[in-house]
Chains A and B, each alone.
Chain A
Amino acid sequence: MNPAVQNANYGALTSLMPLGGVVPLTWYITLASLLFITGAVGVLVKRNPIVIFMCVELMLNASNLALIAFGRYLGNSGGMMFSIFVMAVAAAEVAVGLGILISIFRLRDSISVDEVNLMRG
């Protein structure tokens, strides 16, 4: 049996070494997770919708990084395909999101989420 296969105890991430790669898969996944958490925290603490949306983009790109790292590690092209879909969708979301923000800015010369408070239940 292939030694890499024997080592693949995926209960522990540390043993996931790429086949002949230089940077271990673990590093990619750790980086992607950190980026994702940074983005998620940013969404929760930031008040400017544009910055919030940038944080969402950061989360999406963290996913892209994880997808591509896994795809490369597994020798499977599905991850790269998925990441292309994610990029296309992110572009569409930006277009719509900025449109909505411009539209609310026209009605009230501010876009801070603290002032989005017309409805309270």
Chain B
Amino acid sequence: MNDTLQGIWAISGPLFVAIMGMVVLVIGLGETSPAGRRFLPLGTILGLVAAGILTLVSSRGIPNMPDVTPARFFGQGMLMDDVGGWFCVTLCLAAALTAGMAPAYLEEKRINNGEFYALLLFATCGAMLMALANDLINVFVGLEILSVSLYILCGFSRRELRSEEAAVKYFLLGAFASAFFVFGSALIYGAVGIANRAISLQQENVSFTNFDIISEALQNSARSGMPLMSSPLFVTGIALIVVGLGFKASLVPFHSYAPDVYEGAPTPVTAFMSAGAKLGAFAAFLRLSHAFLASDGAEPYRLVLWTLAAATMLVGNVLAMRQTNIKRMLACSSIAHAGYLLVGILASSHGSASLYATQSVLFYLLAYTLMNLGAFAVIIWLGRNGGDYLDIRDYAGLAKKQPLAALTLTICLLSLAGIPPTAGFFGKLYLFMAAIRSGEVSIAVIGLVISAIGLFYYLNLIMQMYLREPHLEFEEPREGGAKRAAILAAILTIILGVAPNLLVSPSPAGEMNAPPPVPMLKTRPGENTLERGSLPIEPNANR
């Protein structure tokens, strides 16, 4: 009983978000007056802030039991540590920014219903569950809660054919990818179970899809001369899981849906999808990579990640150069950013730099969430009755007509391009540093060269805004919540860029002191080359 209560406390963040979602749904169904509907986004944002605080508190451990972080709950199926807490807080931030920028847009399209906010909260809850899951079953359930909510949100603008087409595309490919994930989990379940039997480990009451058990089986089977990585069942399973998660994270070659879906979906949904779905998928990727940490036979896995990362960075940036629609351009750039993140994931599968790489991935995800949502918020902000300015040429001379919007968009684009002093610069720096520390120098070099290609299309848009003569009037932009969300995101991007270790302080009273994400990291003190004060999250070994 006490275990259950502790578990509920540990996942109180996602639980709170789910309950908020139901409350918003019920209120939204009953409320038809415009004044009442204005309350919904506000309530959603307040609820998300509360959930974020709740997560921060609960990720610091159970009251009176400070020793149990990182702690496993619900039959080892959930894991609440500072990595999961960071993911949850970032997700709450992404959802709150989305709820802030959405109302005016939805009102114009006559779809400002309570369901939007409820589905947004459910999707957030699903992604948070993915971030806290320590078992493939829970990853799958979280993934599906996230995906099913996003399918509906994509088709939310139900009078527009584009939106419906995006929903059909996303739904069919998403369900296809989920099937890959499930079949991969089934094969891993079998392979790990058979390995455990072969080396006479405990069979009863063990979940063979648990990341800890997979990690143990990888170690023990290698020691007993029958490495799990040489089992075709296991290798196929991992490959299928990478396909399933790669789809959600829009890695090349599973990216083909992304530009179409991102273009067709309502802009606030696109904004949330670009951050939320990636956060969930990369959380699962991170846990999967940590399972490989202690074993030696992870080379094939790393080779796959290396190839995917290089291909994703290259194809994403090259595709983005050819786009003339700003939503499609940001979609392609988000593919490229998934590639950069995968470099961090690859580095985190090396014991020598795992902690540093994990932290760099977390920092980059926060930076990416801010800058990407900021850019989408500016697009919503500039739109007005009758449509949005989606063609890149429409942005010519924006600096003369709407200087504040141009400045905000410029900050977000500079950050996406990775130019100091913005959060994106430090994010990329940490990621490539992590890759170099872990010995993956080649991918770091490739990433640096490719991100130079990326400069081209971001700077092109900035030049359009500042150097060209305006040919549009930009009358009556929507402003409102979208303006506030965009400015907030831009300010936070700058703050993170000027003082990347602000969120951090070496003292335990700081925001988030990440203990090593997996316990086995603690056993390798000599290899932990982390420099104190150089990263947003500091390890706190005396916990």
Which chain A residues have a beta carbon within 8 Å of chain B's beta carbons? 1, 4-5, 8-11, 13, 16, 29, 32, 36, 39-40, 43, 49, 52-53, 56, 59-60, 62-64, 66-67, 69-71, 73-76, 78-79, 81-82, 85-86, 89, 92-93, 96-97, 99-101, 103-104, 107-108, 111, 113, 116, 118-119, 121
The contact sample of 14 A-B pairs, CB cut-off 8 A, is: A4-B197, A49-B172, A53-B172, A56-B179, A59-B180, A60-B178, A63-B185, A67-B189, A70-B193, A74-B208, A97-B172, A104-B164, A104-B168, A107-B161
Give the interface centre of B158, B200, B203 by most chain A CB atoms within 10 Å: B158
Once bound together, how far apart are the Cα atoms of A29 and B176, in whole Å? 20
Measured CA separation A107–B155 after assembly (Å):
12
Beyond A39-B179, A78-B209, whether A85 also contacts B259 by CB under 8 A is: no
A10 to B228, CA, bound (A): 9
**Chain A residues with CB below 8 A from B280, complex form:** none
B328 touches A10 (CB 8 A): no
Q: Once the chains bind, are A56 and B176 in contact (CB under 8 Å)?
A: yes
User: A8 and B194: CB pair below 8 A?
Assistant: yes
Binds A, one of B66-74, B136-144, B401-409: B136-144
Interface residues of chain B: helix, strand, loop or mixed (majority) = helix
Task: Tell whether A86 pairs with B193 under 8 Å between CB atoms, given A13-B233, A100-B151, A100-B171.
Answer: no
Measured in the bound complex, the distance between the Cα atoms of B207 and A85 in whole Å is 14
Contact A66 B164 (CB under 8 A): no
B190 at the interface (CB under 8 A from A): yes
Closest residue of chain B to A107 (Cβ to Cβ) is B161
Partner of A108 from the list B161, B167, B186, B226 (CB cut-off 8 Å) is: B161
Write out the residue numbers on chain A whose beta carbons fall within 8 Å of the beta carbon of B169. 116
Contact (Cβ within 8 A) A66 B190: yes
The reply to whether A76 and B187 form a contact with Cβ atoms under 8 Å apart is no
B176→A70 contact, CB < 8 A: no
Task: Closest A residue to B137 by CB, please name it.
Answer: A82
Q: Are A63 and B194 in contact (CB under 8 A)?
A: no
B151 touches A96 (CB 8 A): yes
The yes or no answer to B191 lying at the interface (CB within 8 A) is yes
Choose one: B162, B182, B186; the contact of A70 (CB below 8 Å). B186
What is the CB-to-nearest-CB distance from A75 to chain B, in angstroms, rounded to a whole number?
6
Q: Are A118 and B165 in contact (CB under 8 A)?
A: yes
Shortest Cβ distance from residue B464 to the other chain A in the assembled complex, whole angstroms: 19
Residues of B within 8 A of A73 (CB): 190, 193
State the main secondary structure of chain A at its contact with B: helix
Q: Is the CB of B198 within 8 A of A118?
A: no
Q: Which residues of A contact B519 (CB under 8 A)?
A: none
Minimal beta-carbon separation of A26 from chain B (angstroms): 11
- Give Cα distance in the complex from A73 to B191, angstroms: 12
B161, B172, B183, B194: the one within 8 Å of A36 (CB): B183
Besides A36-B183, A89-B178, 14 other A-B contacts (C-beta < 8 A): A10-B195, A53-B175, A74-B197, A76-B203, A78-B189, A78-B207, A78-B209, A82-B185, A96-B151, A96-B152, A100-B155, A103-B158, A116-B168, A119-B259
Q: Residues of B contacting A36 with CB < 8 Å?
A: 179, 183
Chain A neighbourhood of B175, CB < 8 A? 53, 56, 93, 97
Q: How far is the CA of A75 from the CA of B92 in the complex (A)?
A: 41
Contacts of A116 in B (CB 8 A): 165, 168-169
Q: Are A16 and B151 in contact (CB under 8 A)?
A: no
A5: which B residues are within 8 A, CB to CB? 197-198, 200
Q: Are A16 and B194 in contact (CB-based, < 8 A)?
A: yes
In the complex, what residues of B have CB within 8 A of residue A16's CB?
Answer: 194
B260 in the interface (beta carbon within 8 A):
yes
Q: Which residues from chain A contact B159 at a C-beta distance below 8 Å?
A: 107
Does B148 sit within 8 A of A, measured CB to CB? yes
Residues of A within 8 A of B178 (CB): 56, 60, 89, 93
Task: Name the A residues within 8 Å of B140 (CB-CB).
Answer: 82, 85-86, 89
What residues of A have a CB within 8 angstroms of the CB of B207 in the complex? 78
CB atoms of A82 and B186 under 8 A apart: yes
**Residue from A13, A70, A75 in contact with B189 in the complex, judged by beta carbons closer than 8 Å:** A70
Q: Are A121 and B151 in contact (CB under 8 A)?
A: no
Complex: A108 Cα to B180 Cα, angstroms: 31
User: Given A74-B197, A103-B164, A10 and B172 touching (CB < 8 A)?
Assistant: no
Return chain A residues, CB-CB under 8 Å to B328.
121
- Pairwise interchain contact A76-B151, C-beta atoms closer than 8 A: no
A81 — nearest CB in chain B belongs to which residue?
B137
Q: Which chain B positions have C-beta within 8 A of A66?
A: 183, 186-187, 190
Residues of B within 8 A of A71 (CB): 189
Interfacial chain B residues near A78, Cβ < 8 Å:
137, 189, 206-209
Instruction: Tell me if B230 is interfacial: C-beta within 8 Å of chain A.
Output: yes
With CB as the reference atom, state the residue of chain B lying closest to A25. Answer: B190
Assess A121 versus B171: contact at CB under 8 Å? Given A100-B164, A107-B164: no
Q: Please, how many angstroms separate the alpha-carbon atoms of A36 and B328 in the complex?
A: 33
Which residues in A have their C-beta under 8 angstroms from that of B172?
43, 49, 52-53, 56, 97, 113
Which among A1, A76, A92, A118 is the interface contact of B204 at CB below 8 angstroms?
Answer: A76
Q: Are B151 and A62 in contact (CB-based, < 8 A)?
A: no
B316 within 8 A of partner (CB): no
Is the CB–CB distance between A67 and B186 below 8 Å?
Answer: yes
The CA-CA distance from A111 to B325 in the complex, in Å, is: 26
**Best-buried of A49, A52, A74 by chain B (most CB within 10 Å):** A74
**CB-CB nearest in chain B for A74:** B193
Is the CB–CB distance between A43 and B206 below 8 Å? no
